Structure 1
Amino acid sequence: MSTKGDCGHHHGCKRHKLFRRIFAGILVFILIVLIVILLVWAILRPTKPTFVLQDATVYAFNVSSPNLLTCNFQITISSRNPNDNIGVYYDKLDVYATYRSQQITYRTAIPPTYQSSNEINVWSPFVYGTDVPVAPYNALLLSQDEGTGVIPLLFKLDGRVRWRVGTFISGTYHLHVNCPAYIDFGSKQAGIPLANNAVKYQLVVRCSVNV
């Protein structure tokens, strides 16, 4: 006679215990792998990449009635991976310009790339916007800034990155980069005149980076 707590069959009990041991072994293995990854990650201490806005070439920057802004820039941005043993995947990276917290250009995509340890990448994307509506108060402020000769702009990069340590690749992290640029419109002597009335401004500004 069998009781309620019996397995019913001897072989069934053995299979049940075997499955439990296999499941426990898998859990222990996963836990060990996670601990190793965390230890490696803590030892290596990944540092976020650094960005520098090197220059900006202004091809067009004007306001037409009623409050429509047209601008065309080409900027040069360098990115450096300061880590010795960690690579960075830039899966997605868009750049655009803002004026006093308002986006004034479309987003320009930078091709996905991989940056190995201590490598420097340089990009020179065009950032432009044609007849972009701006708030009336921003149009007024822009007119005032043109009068003083200095235009405060902010070039932003938004994207997604992953870290690579050996064969391990992390999950996706959001990347936010802000590069301030003060364009001197008071005198073209502040920049380098180019063809078609374009002016190139050497900036070399360190950007703030959040990951």
Structure 2
Amino acid sequence: MFFRPRCSLCCIFFTIYTLMLMFMLSFLLFWIIISPSSVKFHVTDASLTQFNLTSNSTLHYNFKVNVTVRNPNNNIVVYYRRITAIAWYKDNGFGWVSLTPFDQGHKNTTFLQAVFVGQRVIKLKSKQLGEYKEEANVGIHKDLAVDFDLGVRAKFARFKSNTFSPPIVQCRRLRVPLISNGKSAPPFSVTRCSSGSFFSGRDADA
């Protein structure tokens, strides 16, 4: 008689635990079945019309980047709610720009353009400063990079996720020609960016 309430309580907890476990396993199985592929980012073109480092370490820049974003999935819609593009030169961040949010259907390719214009003090090491001068003489600057910091939602059928942050999309080692004085510049080589495990979220990819 004295053990029935306790046994009933145990049964309730066991039932709740079992239901939670079944839900988690079902969700995991569901995600494995749809097996989403990472969104693909490619820098298709990049150019500089100004990239001048003054004696007081101030970088004056006009940097344009064209990017394609490809959702290769048959059954997932991606909602880009926050898009921040960050420009780097030899590990120095020098420009930030927010791009217009958009929705991307399945098997869809979207074209983005990020334009960085302004000036910023950067600290180059002695070796990096020498590399900058060599690049300026040749007319092609190396070690430029663009990162994309995103906030997205994903939709499969009627299920829509909460907003999450995918791993930072990294477009590194860009060789960008400097266009000046009407001189023709060598063509830019299309560069694939690293997007990590896009749908796993940033914490899971760390």
**CA 1:71 to 1:168, structure 2 compared with 1: closer, same or farther past 3 Å?**
same
* Number of aligned residue pairs: 191
User: Of the candidates 100, 104, 123, which is equivalent to residue 115 of structure 1?
Assistant: 104
Q: Which residue of 1 aligns with 2:27?
A: 37
Show structure 1 runs of 5+ residues with no match: 8-12, 192-200
User: Of the candidates 157, 182, 185, which is equivalent to residue 148 of structure 2?
Assistant: 157
Structure 2 residue identity aligned to 1:107: W
* Residue 6 (structure 1) shift: 2.7
User: Of the candidates 187, 190, 194, which is equivalent to residue 185 of structure 2?
Assistant: 190
What does 1:75-154 align with in structure 2 at a 5 Å threshold?
75-103=65-93, 105-137=94-126, 138-152=128-142, 153-154=144-145
* Residue 130 (structure 1) shift: 0.8
Show structure 2 runs of 5+ residues with no match: 198-206
Structure 1 residue identity aligned to 2:154: W
Q: Which residue of 1 aligns with 2:167?
A: 175
User: Of the candidates 2, 5, 14, which is equivalent to residue 6 of structure 1?
Assistant: 2
TM-score by length of 2: 0.77
| Sequence identity percentage | 25
Whole-angstrom distance in 1 between the partners of 2:191 and 2:67: 9
TM-score by length of 1: 0.75
* Residue 84 (structure 1) shift: 1.1
RMSD over equivalenced CA pairs, Å = 2.8
Compare CA radii of gyration and give the structure with the larger one: 1
DSSP 3-state at the match of 1:52: strand
* Residue 80 (structure 1) shift: 0.6
Q: Give CA deviations for 1:42-99 in whole Å, capped at 9, x if unaligned.
A: 1221111101112224332111121211112222111011111123333432212212
* Residue 23 (structure 1) shift: 4.1
DSSP 3-state at the match of 2:166: strand
